[in-house]
Amino acid sequence: MEAENYSEELDVAVRVVHLACSLCQTVQEGLVSASSDHVKSKDDDSPVTVADWSVQAMVSWILSEHFGSQNVSIVAEEDVETLSNPNSAGLLDVVVTTVNKCLAEAPKFGLKKPAKTLGNSQVLNAISRCNSSGGPTGRHWVLDPVDGTLGFVRGDQYAVALALIEDGKVVIGVLGCPNYPMRKEWLNYHHEHYRAMTESLLPSPHSWDEGCVMYTRRGSGKAWMQPLIHGNETLEWPNFAKSIQVSSIDDPALATFCEPMERANTNHSFTSGLAHSVGLRKKPLRVYSMVKYAAIARGDAEIFMKFATAGYKEKIWDHAAGVLIVEEAGGVVTDAGGRPLDFSKGMYLEGLDRGIIACCGVPLHDKIVSAIFASWDSSNL
C-alpha cells in the first residue's frame, strides 16, 4: 500500500532535519552575537551563511552513508564554487568545523556519525554531490538547507526543507521550523506584539521557545509535527509526534492569509486587492520562509499566496516539502490557474501559471482562483 512505502526514507529524513535544525540554531546564535565572517554575498546579493553550506554537506553525507552515494541524487540550493575558491579558505574552515561538530551529535538523533572527522575535501565533495537537477524519472532528494535566509540572518523565521521526489511526484516532505513553536498561540502573539517589540533588536533565539519538525508521506492522508530536542535529550521515535490538520474555516471574513515578507518576492499590492475582493478582512501575516506552508498545514492560517514578478522561476526546493505537508494535512495547493504544481521538470516549477495559492480547503481556494481570474487583466503584474 502506498502509505506504507518510504518508511525508512521518512525516518532518516526526519532525523536528519532535526539534526540540521540543531546546527542552524547554533549558527543563528553565533550570528546574533555578530560575526560578519558568517555572511557572504551570493551573485543575487542574498545572504548566504555557514549554515547553508554546513547543512547541505551534513545532509548529503548522512543520506549517502545511509542509502549509498550511488543511490542518492540530491537537488539543492548551494553550489560548491564560492566555497572551493581559495579566497574562501577561512569560510571553508568554519564550515568544516561546523559540520564535524554537528555530525558528532548524530547518534543523539539516531543517526550514524563518521568514524573520523571529515576533512575539507570530504566536506566539499558532500556539497558538490548535491548537483542533481531532478527530472521526471527516478528518485531525487530536494533540499533547501536554510530557506528564508533573510529571516535566518535577522534572527527571525526560517526553515530546513527536505523532500523526496519519485518519478516527478513529491512522496516525502519534511520541514524543520526551528523558531516556530508547537503552540498555536504563537502566531497572534508574534503578529501583534513581537515584531513591534523587537523591531530594532535582534531577538535571542532562546526567546522563541522550542521549534518543530513537520513531516508527511504521500497518500497517508496525515501529517505530523514533533518538537525539537534540546540539550542531552535523544530523539526517541515517535518523539511526541502530534497529528496536524488544516483549519476548517471557509468564511473569508474569518480567514488569515499569509505571504512573503519581502516585496521583492511577491506582489503585495496585487494580493491586497485580491484579499479585498474576496472579503478577507484580516491584516496579511507576513512570515519568512516555508513556515508559511507550516502555518497552513497546522491550521494557524488559512491561505498562502505568492506572486513573484514576471520572469522569476520558482525553484522546487522552495515548495516541495511544504506543498506535500499542506496537501496531506487536508489542504489544496495549485498555481493561480488552479493546476497542481509540477515537480517533474527539473529544478524549476516549469509552467507555473503566475503564482502559488495554498488553502486550507476547496471553498476558499475556489474563491481565490476565481478572484484572480476576474482581476488579472486589470492588474499590472
Per CB under 5 A, the segment of 223-231, 257-265, 317-325, 331-339 that binds Mg ion is 317-325
Contact between 156 and ligand PPS (CB under 6 A)? no
What is the smallest separation between the CB atom of 381 and ligand PPS, expressed in angstroms? Answer: 12
What is the smallest separation between the CB atom of 359 and ligand PPS, expressed in angstroms? Answer: 16
Contact between 265 and ligand PPS (CB under 6 A)? yes
CA distances from 121 to 125, 129, 175 (A): 6, 12, 29
- What is the torsional sign of CA 146, 147, 151, 153? positive
Tell me, yes or no, if 366 is annotated catalytic: no
Backbone angles phi, psi at 301, to 5 degrees: -150, 165
From the list 186, 146, 175, the residue with the least C-alpha distance to 291 is: 175
Per CB under 6 A, the segment of 24-32, 208-216, 258-266, 272-280 that binds ligand PPS is 258-266
Tell me, yes or no, if 137 is annotated catalytic: no
Contact between 46 and ligand PPS (CB under 6 A)? yes
Tell me: is residue 78 an annotated ligand-binding position. no
49, 98, 149, 256: the catalytic one is: 149
Contact between 78 and ligand PPS (CB under 6 A)? no
> Can you tell me the distance from the alpha carbon of 270 to that of 293, in angstroms, rounded to the nearest whole number?
20
> Can you tell me the distance from the alpha carbon of 339 to that of 337, in angstroms, rounded to the nearest whole number?
6
From the list 1, 17, 4, 86, the residue with the least C-alpha distance to 239 is: 17
The number of residues that bind ligand PPS (CB under 6 A) is 20
- Answer for the pair 80, 121: CB distance below 8 angstroms, yes or no: no
Q: What does 110 bind: Mg ion, ligand PPS, none (CB cut-off 5 to 8 Å by kind)?
A: none
Backbone angles phi, psi at 297, to 5 degrees: -60, -35
Nearest to ligand PPS of 111, 352 (CB atom): 352
What is the smallest separation between the CB atom of 317 and Mg ion, expressed in angstroms? Answer: 6
Tell me: is residue 144 an annotated ligand-binding position. yes
Contact between 52 and Mg ion (CB under 5 A)? no
Strand blocks (E) in 228-378: 242-244, 257-259, 285-286, 303-306, 332-335, 356-359
Maximum distance among all Cα pairs of the chain, rounded to whole angstroms: 62
Name residue 369's amino acid: V
CA distances from 48 to 16, 97, 137, 167, 332 (A): 21, 17, 31, 31, 32
Nearest to ligand PPS of 109, 307 (CB atom): 307
∠ CA 207-212-217 to the nearest 5 degrees? 165
Q: What residue is closest to Mg ion based on CB?
A: 147
> Can you tell me the distance from the alpha carbon of 239 to that of 208, in angstroms, rounded to the nearest whole number?
20
Per CB under 5 A, the segment of 133-141, 147-155, 185-193, 328-336 that binds Mg ion is 147-155
Q: What does 264 bind: Mg ion, ligand PPS, none (CB cut-off 5 to 8 Å by kind)?
A: ligand PPS
CB-based contacts of 214: which residues, under 8 Å, 6+ apart? 174, 175, 177, 223, 224, 225, 244, 294, 297, 298, 325
Contact between 264 and ligand PPS (CB under 6 A)? yes
Contact between 147 and Mg ion (CB under 5 A)? yes
Contact between 318 and ligand PPS (CB under 6 A)? yes
Contact between 144 and Mg ion (CB under 5 A)? yes
Contact between 288 and ligand PPS (CB under 6 A)? yes
CB-based contacts of 261: which residues, under 8 Å, 6+ apart? 150, 151, 286, 287, 288
Contact between 78 and Mg ion (CB under 5 A)? no
Q: Which of 315, 342, 376, 379 binds ligand PPS (CB under 6 A)?
A: 315
Would you name the residues annotated as active-site residues? 52, 149
Contact residues toward ligand PPS (CB under 6 A) are: 46, 144, 147-151, 260-262, 264-265, 288-289, 306, 308-309, 312, 315, 318
Chain residues binding Mg ion by CB under 5 A are 144, 147, 318
